[in-house]
Structure formats: structure tokens, C-alpha cells
Amino acid sequence: MIRIVVASTPIDLTAEMTLVEQASGAGAVATFTGLVRADAGAAGDVDVLELEHYPGATEAALTVLAQEATTRWSLGAVTIVHRVGPMRPGERIVFVAAAAPHRGAALDSCAYLIDRLKTDAPFWKREIRGESAAWVEARDTDTAAANRWR
């Protein structure tokens, strides 16, 4: 089972976990939940984080990542839920879950998915601080994390 959701509504962790845990052959489920950070360092605190995307293209890119992980680790289920639109600090921005027969595959595939998602999914982030806004540039550390899986 592959479940991909890109939406502006809050992420319901209980509902998403229930679906993943029902996967055939699941002996382990690994998850990652990303939150909007307020502290952006020298640039000041973020009031709002806005994410934009290309509908259709984003879901297709996430599906490819989920299919790659499913094949590589023989997963029973993969869920990727990603928010778009405006979000405030502390809100959930992404949820990734992988169900596998054993913990190693579940943990590795979850790490793979979040590392690759950061670089391979077509999302654009804009941080808003008071009256100013700035687009978030890609980080070299994100690229290095994704490249370790190639």
C-alpha cells in the first residue's frame, strides 16, 4: 500500500498510523514527523512558513520515492503526508511512515524517504517574519543526506 497526500489541512497522526499498521506482513513501523520551526537563527523567528507546489507533479514525485523504497526494502506500506500553504511554528509539516517485516528495513526506508523528499520533491518554502518574506534555499546538508542513498 502506498498512500500519498498533499493537502493544506492538518495531519492526523492517529488516522495515518492506523492505516500503516494494518499493512500485510508489518512487524515494524518507523515514522518521521516534521514540525515547522520558529527559530531560524540570525534571520529571526519565523511567523509563518508557506509551502507552494505543483499539483500532480508533487504527488507523482512522492509516488516514485515511495515505490523506490517499497521495492528496495520490501515494504508492506508507505505513507507520505505533506502540508502545503501557510503554517505556523509547531504545526506538522510532513509525516512519513514505512511498514516492514523487521525494524531495520522500516528505519532505513523511513530515513531514505525523508532524505530524498527534502531534495527530490517539488516544494518551495517561503519564510515570513513580520512584514518581510524570503524563499528558503536548498541546503548542502540536505543534498549530502539524499546522495548517501544513491
Domains, in order of start, for the chain: 2-147 (3.90.1170.40)
Q: How far is CA 5 from CA 10, 34, 119, in A?
A: 11, 15, 18
Cell numbers representing residue 138 in the block: 536548498
Nearest residue to 66 via CA among 117, 24, 8: 117
pLDDT-based confidence at 148, cuts 50/70/90? confident
Per residue in 58-71, pLDDT (tens digit) is 999 999 999 999 99
pLDDT-based confidence at 46, cuts 50/70/90? confident
Rounded to two decimals, what is the model's pTM?
Answer: 0.88
Q: CA–CA separation, 134 vs 138, rounded Å?
A: 13
Q: How far is CA 70 from CA 43, 62, 87, in A?
A: 39, 12, 30
Contacts of 104 (CB under 8 A, 6+ apart): none
40 pLDDT higher than 70:
no
Q: CA–CA separation, 37 vs 128, rounded Å?
A: 12
pLDDT-based confidence at 99, cuts 50/70/90? very high
Residues 40, 46, 32, CA angle at the centre, nearest 5°? 70
pLDDT-based confidence at 145, cuts 50/70/90? confident
Mean per-residue pLDDT, 29-42: 81
Q: CA–CA separation, 112 vs 100, rounded Å?
A: 14
Tell me the pLDDT of the chain averaged across its residues. Answer: 88
Q: CA–CA separation, 148 vs 150, rounded Å?
A: 6
Contact 99, 75 (CB under 8 A): yes
